[in-house]
Amino acid sequence: EGGRTKEPAVVVCTDSTRYMSKRSYPLWIVIIASLAIVLRQAVAAHPHSGMGTPPMYGDYEAQRHWMEITINLPLKDWYRQTTDNDLMYWGLDYPPLTAYVSYFFGMLAQKIEPELVTLHASRGNETPTGKMLMRYSVLVCDLLLFFPAAYAFLCSFYPVHSTTTPPQPSSSSSKRLLGIRAAAWFFILLNPAFILIDHGHFQYNCVAHGLILLAIALILFGGGGGGTRNKGNLYLELAGASSFCLALLFKQMSLYFA
């Protein structure tokens, strides 16, 4: 008005708007993890692979059958063709750690719903309680292994504190790294492939992925990453190698990550 030129608005961008603050970071980590759990539960409420399609059903039945086999047959018969173990019907074809995980959850199932793992008679079992037990077994593996391992990996890959010179990065650099770490946390936990395959189709890939991420984190921490002062710590690196071996013992396809 009156011939005056209107000054353009000036946007002041501070650290609090450009980067994630150290106070809000833990809250965002919890919010993202909670969202990831909700999405997993939402997907789990839908049908699984092979649901209601005899005679072989699908991968859900394969995992259930492995529980049935491992808790009812002696160890020497887990991988052998016997009168009680027809290898043509979802015979165990994953390494031994998978079998032991099946044994553990099979023991729990036997106490809560024995019909889920009764030898022979449980084939094709799809009761609501049984499905709930199976679904929660995957979620437990996610929460106890995959989530912590993913966070450990992010802490090692995006260290906020460094052992190099200078010993401490700037405040803005720390906030930037926290923002990157939170974003990576979001994309890892909400990866559609992880959620749909394990909690929809039905698998325990989260165990193998968790062991692999833990292996990487331990090796990075042992090599001086992640802010640790144990640079070149042989024990951490050996622990990382052991974790990767466990991933191979759970699922042979973990070798792809080598």
- pLDDT tens for 134-152 read 999 999 999 999 999 999 9
Judge contact between 238 and 193, C-beta under 8 A: no
- Do 44 and 36 meet the contact criterion of CB atoms below 8 Å apart? no
| Predicted local confidence at residue 222, as pLDDT | 87
Q: What is the DSSP string of 22-50?
A: TTHHHHHHHHHHHHHHHHHHHHHTS--TT
pLDDT over 50 at 16, yes or no: no
pLDDT, tens digit, 9 for 90 and up, residues 179-220: 999 999 999 999 999 999 999 999 999 999 999 999 999 999
Under 8 Å between Cβ of 68 and 115: no
Residue that has been written with the tokens 């005899």 in this structure? 54
Q: Which of 21, 43, 47 is nearest to 193 (CA)?
A: 43
List, for residues 42-64, the tens digit of each pLDDT value: 999 999 999 999 999 999 999 99
Q: Is the pLDDT of residue 105 over 50?
A: yes
